[in-house]
Structure formats: C-alpha cells, structure tokens
C-alpha cells in the first residue's frame, strides 16, 4: 500500500530527457522505482553513450518499501581469470583528449577493457525488486535505439572530447561517425544493433554476453586486439549486495556507497568533520567557502596518505584497505527515482572514456576502466584478476530525523568531483534549508591537489577569501567538470543538474 504520508506522485531526475522519459513511461505503466531506474539505465546506454554503456560498471542504492536498504555493486572487475602464464601483454593505444584548458592522454583499446558489470546489475536489480516484465522495462530503450535519439548539447560536447577514441574501430565509427563525420548537437544517433539486442534480451534474459556464443565471440574479439578478458571472467562475474555505509550528520542519517569502494567513505569523512565543528557559517559567506575548501583539502590529503582518520572518523568498519584499490570513473551519469509506494532508487553508472571497441553485432561500447595511468599508481594491470575495482561513485540517501523515510536521494557523475558536488548540495539543503533546485544550481568549488577550481558566480569577497587559502582557477562558465547532481525529494520535487543535461519528470 502507498505510504499515506507521501503525495501520489513519482519523480525522476536523470541526465537526459530520453532517459527520464523511459523511467516515466515505466512508472506510468505501473512499474516501481527499480523498474524505472533500470529502464532509464538501458535508455542512457543509447542516449548518453559518452557516459555509460551496458558494458560499463555502476552502483544502485535501493530503499524497497518495507524492506532493508541495500547497495547493489555491479562495478567492473579486473580481468584475466584463467589466462595462461606467458600470454602476450595487453595492447593499449594512447589517445590525446583535448579539454578546454589541457590535453590529457588516455589509454584505450582491448587491453583497457575490464570485466563489465552494468548489464548484470540491471538484470539482477530487476529480478530482485522489479514489478514489470523485462520486456516492458527494456522497450523504451530498444525503441530509442532503433528510431534514433537527437544528440543533446551535453552529449555533443562529450562525444567531441572522445572523438579520437570513438574513431578507433569501424564498428564504433558506424555509430558515432556515420558518413565519416562525428555526430554533433541536433544530429540523430541510431544504434539498430543495440535495439535488436535489447528486444532479444526482453524475450530471453539469459541472452547476454556473460555466457554462451556471445561471450566466446566477445573474448575472441578482444583477444585478437590484445585484450585480457576471458570466458572465465564473464562466467564468474557476480553482482554484490552490500549494506550501505551509514553516516550521522546533524539530526539526519545518510546512507551511501560502502567500501571496498571509497567515494562514499570520503564523503562521510567530510560530513563527519563538519558535524564535529558544529553549525556551518551562513550560505554564500566567505567563511563557508573557506570551510568547505579546507574540508575538501583535508579529506584529499587523507586519501593520498591513506591516513588512519579515514578509517577512524566513521562509526563503522570501512573494510580492508579502502584506499588502496585501483579506482575509476570519469564519463559517468546518474538517475534518481522515487515512486508513490515509498520505493527509492539512486543509480550511478560509468563507461570511463570507452575503449573504442564495440561488441560485435550488439552496438554495445566497451569500457576502458583499466586505461588511465593516474588511476593505477602501481602500474597497469598490477591488481590480480577478479578484483572489484574501486570508484568515487556515491549514490546517497538522506533519511528524516526518525530514520523512517528518505527525505533526499541524490548522486552525481564527475570522478573526483562527485564527493565535492554532493557535499555542497547536502550542506545547502540540510544546513541552510535551500530549495533543492537552488542547491543543485549554485556555483561550486573543488579542491584539486594543491589549488581550487571554482565556477563563476561567487562574490568577490568569497573569491578573495579562497585565494588566501590556495591558488584559485576561476572558470569562465559552468561546466560538467563540476559534476552533475540529479536529486529527488520523494513525493515533493526533483532537480536535474544543467551541467550534465539534467531533466526531471513527474508522474
């Protein structure tokens, strides 16, 4: 039965209108929040190809009405199970990606592909918590892939950054550079192979790339180019259900992503520091900006040094070596859904920058989670096969004072900026009582190793106070660099972050 305290409205906040529409369609058809989140995820694989894929990795934080909260971990594993000794080294291709203010080298190609988890995760969550048939859940995405989706400004910008990777293979060029020209804003992206794959999956949930002929074909395809993925890797992959990390902040309890990943733990450390200091300074004040900057800097220093405070600051056990694992996620998207029955889902997924490889006959882009040198300080492929890679992704719930209901559900893309984006939105809503849309829209700052990255819009006295703390790089305009927080206050309102194409739907 619906909770009498909740208005009869389902709310979706997502990174693309087509993903939000897919979720809303499923809710309107009688699906619950988990059907809707999975439907949005499948749709995002079509309409947000620069951010996510069925061959990427992710997490979903779930509050099923009347049942225990659970964090579904379907992030990527390190590959190589059953690979014989003396096998050739994996093959990487270096690709220079030019950003607004810098050029960064990424590694892509078959040697960068980790064991994918997104498809397994969607199927697992649907099987455990869904209400509609799988065919109903995948139908909006399948239709979108076949009929086509207009490339949004956000995706056009991201595809332009990734063009050197997207142009690597003929299969990738057929999707993203049809006719030899990269898809631009307003063009229509078609992916009929992905549409056919989704239709087949709706009829038979076992028709995946984890077993059978498609698994063998995928492994052979990547091996031919120097990949590490094995049939054993695919067969052994499992979605892990974890108890969410609980963090006390003011009179609220936060639930977020637990170790062995560590984005949620670092967010928890920052909130714990603020909690111990007492009330925060007024919104928009120089004092608040300095407090946030120094808190971010302190947590970053703890992360770099694996400081014991990271483990000790929170009440629970953060697990073994939460800071020492390989970590990823840059190209990332998020969706949050709350339904009329009190079910809430917050899901973040990523495909890295993609490898440039497409699984033959499926239209599914492979990840490049193993291909970023700054994320593997011990060297590429130093981790043993079968290890779950860590992430900064932090889908999060804020519970009411009694702990009975979710007051706020949110998450973000943006790699290291995920925790700083969430921190600033949480302080605005919980401490200052800001309207959700205002909290998401407010200018952000981020501590980056030894300086501050700052969005435009801060008062001159705030910038001056920050400059006294560290060098400040003020951006000329708002940017997806600072994350994309898509949030829902169940039963009340949603907010989509314009930095990453945020869209809200109410059903």
| DSSP letter string, 376-429 | -TT-TT-SPTTPBPEE----EEEE-TTSSSEEEEEEEESTTHHHHHHHHHHIII
Whole-angstrom distance, CA of residue 340 vs CA of residue 344: 9
Tokens of 345: 């889902």
| Phi, psi angle pair for 348, to nearest 5° | -120, 130
pLDDT at 331: 74
405 class by beta-carbon count within 10 Å (0-12 exposed, 13-18 middle, 19+ buried): middle
Bridging pattern class, strands 503-506 and 390-391 = unpaired
Whole-angstrom distance, CA of residue 288 vs CA of residue 160: 36
Whole-angstrom distance, CA of residue 12 vs CA of residue 83: 43
CB 326, CB 376: distance < 8 Å: yes
Summarised one tens digit per residue, pLDDT across range 43-81 is 999 999 999 999 999 999 999 999 999 999 999 999 999
The residue among 367, 331, 330, 378 whose CA lies nearest residue 79 is: 367
pLDDT at 199: 98
Whole-angstrom distance, CA of residue 242 vs CA of residue 71: 5
Tokens of 149: 């989706």
Angle at which helices 33-47 and 118-129 cross, to 10°: 160
Tokens of 389: 């890679």
Planar angle of CA 501, 394, 389, nearest 5 degrees: 110
449 secondary structure, DSSP code = T
pLDDT at 474: 94
pTM over 0.85: yes
Whole-angstrom distance, CA of residue 491 vs CA of residue 389: 35
The residue among 48, 331, 24, 75 whose CA lies nearest residue 191 is: 48
Tokens of 138: 């995948």
CB 99, CB 385: distance < 8 Å: no
pLDDT at 8: 65
The residue among 225, 107, 227, 112 whose CA lies nearest residue 164 is: 107
Whole-angstrom distance, CA of residue 153 vs CA of residue 309: 42
- In three-state form (DSSP H/G/I as H, E/B as E, the rest C), the secondary structure along 316-374 is CCCCCCCCCCCEECCCEEEEEEECCCCCEEEEEEECCCCCCCEECCCCEEECCCCCCHH
The residue among 289, 328, 316 whose CA lies nearest residue 418 is: 328
pLDDT at 330: 55
Whole-angstrom distance, CA of residue 413 vs CA of residue 419: 9
Which of the residues 332, 333, 396, 503 is marked catalytic?
332
Whole-angstrom distance, CA of residue 339 vs CA of residue 199: 26
**Ranges under pLDDT 70 in the chain:** 1-8, 86-87, 97-104, 300-330, 372-381
pLDDT at 261: 85
pLDDT at 335: 98
332 is catalytic: yes
**Which helix (H) or strand (E) is 300 found in, with range?**
helix 286-305
């Amino acid at each position: 039965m619906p909770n009498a305290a909740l208005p009869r409205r389902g709310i979706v906040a997502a990174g693309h209108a087509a993903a939000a529409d897919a979720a809303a369609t499923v809710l309107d058809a009688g699906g619950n929040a988990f059907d809707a989140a999975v439907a949005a995820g499948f749709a995002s694989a079509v309409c947000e190809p620069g951010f996510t894929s069925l061959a990427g990795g992710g997490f979903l934080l779930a509050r099923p009405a009347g049942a225990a909260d659970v964090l579904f971990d379907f992030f990527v594993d390190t590959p190589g199970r059953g690979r014989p000794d003396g096998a050739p080294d994996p093959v990487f291709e270096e690709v220079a990606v030019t950003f607004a203010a810098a050029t960064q080298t990424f590694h892509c190609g078959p040697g960068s592909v980790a064991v994918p988890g997104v498809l397994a995760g969607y199927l697992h969550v649907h099987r455990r918590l869904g209400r509609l048939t799988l065919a109903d859940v995948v139908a909006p995405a399948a239709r979108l892939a076949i009929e086509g989706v207009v490339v949004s400004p956000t995706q056009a910008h991201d595809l332009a950054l990734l063009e050197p990777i997207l142009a690597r293979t003929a299969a990738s060029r057929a999707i993203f550079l049809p006719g030899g020209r990269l898809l631009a804003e307003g063009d229509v992206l078609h992916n009929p192979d992905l549409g056919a794959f989704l239709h087949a999956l709706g009829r038979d949930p076992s028709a995946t790339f984890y077993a059978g002929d498609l698994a063998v074909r995928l492994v052979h395809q990547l091996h031919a180019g120097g990949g590490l993925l094995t049939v054993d890797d695919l067969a052994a992959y499992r979605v892990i259900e974890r108890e969410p990390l609980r963090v006390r902040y003011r009179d609220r309890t936060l639930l977020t992503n637990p170790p062995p990943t560590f984005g949620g733990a670092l967010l928890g450390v920052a909130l714990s520091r603020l909690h111990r200091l007492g009330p925060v300074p007024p919104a928009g004040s120089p004092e608040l900006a300095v407090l946030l900057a120094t808190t971010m800097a302190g947590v970053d220093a703890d992360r770099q040094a694996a400081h014991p405070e990271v483990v000790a600051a929170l009440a629970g056990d953060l697990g073994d070596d939460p800071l020492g694992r390989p970590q990823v996620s840059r190209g990332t998207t998020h969706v949050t859904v709350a339904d009329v029955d009190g079910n809430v889902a917050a899901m973040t997924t990523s495909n890295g920058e993609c490898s440039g490889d497409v699984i033959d006959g499926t239209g599914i882009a492979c990840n490049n989670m193993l291909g970023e040198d700054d994320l593997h300080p011990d060297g590429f492929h130093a981790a043993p096969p079968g290890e779950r890679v860590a992430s900064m992704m932090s889908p999060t719930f804020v519970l009411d004072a009694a702990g009975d209901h979710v007051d706020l559900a949110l998450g973000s893309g943006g790699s290291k900026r995920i925790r700083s984006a969430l921190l600033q939105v949480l302080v605005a809503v919980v401490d200052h009582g800001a309207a959700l849309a205002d909290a998401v829209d407010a200018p952000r700052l981020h501590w980056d190793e030894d300086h501050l990255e700052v969005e435009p819009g801060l008062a001159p006295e705030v910038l001056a106070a920050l400059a006294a703390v560290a060098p400040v790089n003020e951006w000329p305009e708002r940017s997806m660099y600072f994350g994309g927080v898509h949030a829902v206050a169940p039963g009340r309102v949603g907010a989509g972050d314009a930095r990453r194409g945020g869209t809200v739907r109410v059903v």
